[in-house]
């Protein structure tokens, strides 16, 4: 059984009308920025689609913010929020609160809101703007932003402190999410569009979501199969890493379109991530493990490969049901014998 849960979004409320903007040309103004990320309180109250619960997340310490401003003459500029579009954050200033508004995230779910002071000075000749933001616990190697295609911005999938665990703690604003929680369309603006941009009191409120997908594996070896099969190791392969070649380049993954990474140079072997070992005696027959990966598509499918007992290598296929959010992929595996093929595994 594969479970894919989806997230939603928050909406913006305009503080000024088109007539106000025409009668009162915008003056230079400082725009405060508010950032929020989802936080889980348990299985039943977890934010829909968010892949985290019963585990420790690192709160973001790095913000990358890109404001694409359209001038009054319809030309575009990339506003410098900070040097390198990056600012360090104080992790102690993330405050946990309960969502009382409902919608997405759902009523009663927990959120982390950044209480530190963040703002950016806006130019006078501004007409409209869209915003893309990234939060991360570790510093990221990010490509050069462009006013022409900001949603194409990439980051390098590389190890940090010897592992890829940090992928779990990257959040971004999905590029094609509309104000009403569905995909952007002609009548549904991108939710990162600043609707009160030309007023003298502009504000920006953003909810960011996980970039990495969670692959969650539960195994159960039936009593009759235990004499021949022990889960002495569980390895996950075909993970996107710094050697993976995609349409964006070697080791490059899309930040704002994490479900659209496409491998072009053959299915990569990726890193073999060990999820359990011979030391985990209690997990020989029953267990659970998970990993966070950047999903990619090859030959029309998203692929996850796992090795069991160092002798068997099945390949499972799954595809997110949304073009916006990364999936939470859940495999419930039951072994009644040493499998000879993938179809011998009950899911």
Q: Are residues 171 and 267 in the same domain?
A: no
Choosing from 190, 210, 230, the residue where a domain stops is 210
Residue 234 included in any domain: yes
Residue 11 lies in a domain: no
| Exposure string over 222-239, b if 16+ CB within 10 A, otherwise e | eeebeeebbbbbbbbbbb
Residue 50: band (very low, low, confident or very high) from pLDDT cuts 50, 70, 90: very low
The model's pLDDT over 53-77, given as tens digits with 9 standing for 90+, comes to 456 789 999 999 999 999 999 999 9
Is there a domain that residue 231 lies in? yes
Give, in order, the Cα–Cα distances in Å from 87 to each of 63, 78, 81, 145.
5, 16, 8, 16
Domain boundary among 186, 210, 234: 210
Assess if residue 7 is contained within a domain: no
Do 39 and 77 belong to one domain?
yes
**Does 90 lie in the same domain as 36?**
yes
CATH code, domain with 339? 2.60.40
In tens, the pLDDT along 299-344 reads 777 777 787 777 777 877 777 767 777 877 878 888 888 888 887 7
- Are 276 and 292 within one domain? yes
53 contacts 5 by C-beta, under 8 angstroms:
no
Looking at the structure, do residues 71 and 161 belong to the same domain, yes or no? Answer: yes
**Predicted pLDDT at 33:** 93
User: Is 3 part of any domain?
Assistant: no
**Residues with Cβ < 8 Å from 252, sequence gap 6 or more?**
143, 154, 155, 156, 157, 246
In the numeric block, the tokens 């595996």 are attached to: 333
Query: How many domains is the chain partitioned into structurally?
Result: 2
Residue 1 lies in a domain: no
Judged against a pLDDT cut of 90, whether residue 178 lies above it is answered with no
- Mark whether 122 and 217 lie in a shared domain: no
List the beta bridge partners of residue 31: 120
Give residues with Cβ within 8 angstroms of 250, minimum separation 6. 242, 243, 244
Q: What is the rounded distance in angstroms from the CA atom of residue 83 to the CA atom of residue 15? A: 29
| Confidence at residue 338, expressed as pLDDT on a 0 to 100 scale | 81
Residues 141 and 252 in one domain: no
User: Where do we find the tokens 């936080």?
Assistant: 39
pLDDT of residue 40: 53
Positive or negative CA dihedral for 41, 273, 152, 33? Answer: positive
Domain enclosing residue 284, as ranges? 213-344
* 23 and 91 share one domain: yes
More confident residue, 101 or 212: 212
Phi-psi region of 87 (alpha: psi -120 to 50; beta: other; left: phi over 0): beta
**Listed residues 210, 238, 267: the one ending a domain:** 210
Q: What is the pLDDT of residue 51?
A: 47
Residues 256 and 202 in one domain: no
Least confident of 119-133, 160-174, 225-239, 253-267: 225-239
Residues 6+ apart with CB under 8 A from 248: 152, 154, 254, 261
């Amino acid at each position: 059984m594969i479970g894919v849960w989806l997230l939603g979004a928050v909406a913006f409320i305009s503080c000024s009308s088109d007539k106000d903007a025409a009668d009162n040309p915008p003056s230079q103004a400082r725009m405060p920025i508010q950032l929020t990320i989802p936080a889980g309180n348990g299985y039943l109250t977890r934010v829909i689609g968010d892949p985290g619960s019963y585990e420790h997340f690192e709160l973001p310490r790095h913000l990358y913010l890109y404001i694409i401003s359209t001038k009054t003459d319809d030309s575009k500029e990339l506003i410098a929020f900070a040097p390198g579009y990056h600012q360090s954050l104080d992790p102690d200033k993330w405050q946990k609160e309960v969502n009382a508004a409902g919608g997405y995230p759902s009523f009663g779910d927990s959120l982390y809101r950044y209480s530190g002071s963040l703002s950016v000075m806006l130019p006078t000749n501004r007409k409209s703007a869209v915003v893309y933001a990234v939060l991360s616990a570790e510093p990221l190697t990010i490509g050069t932003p462009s006013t022409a295609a900001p949603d194409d911005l990439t980051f390098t999938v590389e190890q940090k402190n010897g592992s890829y665990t940090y992928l779990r703690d990257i959040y971004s604003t999905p590029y094609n999410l509309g104000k009403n929680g569905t995909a952007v369309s002609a009548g549904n603006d991108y939710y990162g569009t600043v609707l009160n941009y030309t007023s003298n009191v502009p504000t920006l409120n953003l909810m960011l979501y996980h970039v990495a997908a969670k692959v969650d594996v539960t195994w159960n070896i039936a009593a009759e199969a235990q004499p021949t099969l022990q889960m002495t190791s569980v390895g996950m392969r075909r993970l996107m890493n710094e050697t993976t070649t995609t349409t964006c380049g070697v080791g490059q993954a899309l930040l704002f379109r994490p479900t659209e990474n496409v491998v072009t140079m053959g299915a990569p072997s990726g890193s073999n991530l060990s999820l359990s070992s011979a030391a985990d005696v209690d997990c020989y027959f029953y267990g659970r493990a998970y990993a966070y990966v950047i999903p990619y598509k090859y030959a029309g499918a998203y692929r996850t490969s796992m090795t069991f007992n160092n002798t068997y290598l099945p390949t499972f296929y799954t595809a997110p049901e949304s073009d916006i959010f990364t999936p939470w992929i859940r495999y419930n595996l039951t072994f009644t014998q040493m499998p000879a093929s993938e179809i011998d595994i009950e899911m």
